[in-house]
C-alpha cells in the first residue's frame, strides 16, 4: 500500500488554510476595507476556502489508495 502521509498533509492544508488566514484577512479589512467580488474580504476568504478545500480534498480522494483497494475487494 502506498503511503498516505502526503494525503494527510494535503488534508491538513485544506483544514488550516481558512482559520489561519482569517487572522490576516481581518487585519487587512480593518485597515483598508477591501471588498472582493462585492463581498467583504472576510466573507470572500471563507467562500474561497470552501472551494479550495473541496478542490484539495477532491485531489486527495483521487489519489486515495483505499478507494482502489475496496474496488478490488468488491470485484473479487
Partner 1 sequence: MSHQAISISIIGIFLVLALYLGIRASKGKKMSLEEWSVGGRGFGTALIFLLMAGELYTVNALMGISGWAFGRGGAAFYNITMLNFIIGYWLLPKIWKYGKEHHLISQSDFFIKKYNSPALGIFVAVVGFISMIPYLIIQLKGLGLIISEASYGAISPTAAIWIGVIAVTVYVMISGIHGSAWTAVIKDILIVVVVVFLGLYLPIHYYGGIGDMFRAVENAKPGFLGLEDKGYSTSWYVSSLILLSFGYYMWPHGFIATYSGKNARSIRKNTLMLPLYMLFTLFVLFIGTSAVLQVDGVSNNDIAIFAIVKQTFSPWVVGLLGAAGLLTAIVPGSMLLMTTASLIANNVVKALRPRTDDRTVMSLARWLVPVVAAVALIFTFNSGSAILLLMLSGYGFVSQLTPAVVTSFMKRNPLNKYGVFAGVTVGVLIVAYINLIGATMGTFFPAAPSWFQDLNVGIVALLANIVVSLIVSTATRSLSASRGSAAAERAAVKGA
Binding residues vs partner 1 (CB under 8 A): 8, 11, 14-15, 18-20, 22-23, 26-27, 29-30, 33, 35, 37-40, 42-43, 46-47, 50, 53-54, 57-58, 60-61, 64, 66-67, 70-71, 74
CB 49, min distance to partner 1, A: 8
Contact of 41 with 23, CB cutoff 8 Å = no
Rounded Cα gap, residues 41 and 51, in angstroms: 15
CB 48, min distance to partner 1, A: 11
CB 42, min distance to partner 1, A: 6
Q: What angle do CA 23, 26, 31 make, to 5 degrees?
A: 130
Rounded Cα gap, residues 71 and 68, in angstroms: 5
Amino acid at each position: 500500500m502506498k503511503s498516505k502521509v502526503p494525503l494527510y498533509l494535503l488534508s491538513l492544508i485544506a483544514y488550516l488554510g481558512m482559520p489561519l488566514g482569517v487572522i490576516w484577512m481581518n487585519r487587512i479589512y480593518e485597515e483598508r476595507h477591501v471588498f472582493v467580488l462585492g463581498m467583504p474580504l472576510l466573507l470572500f476568504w471563507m467562500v474561497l476556502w470552501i472551494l479550495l478545500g473541496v478542490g484539495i480534498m477532491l485531489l486527495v480522494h483521487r489519489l486515495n489508495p483505499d478507494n482502489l483497494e475496496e474496488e478490488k475487494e468488491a470485484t473479487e
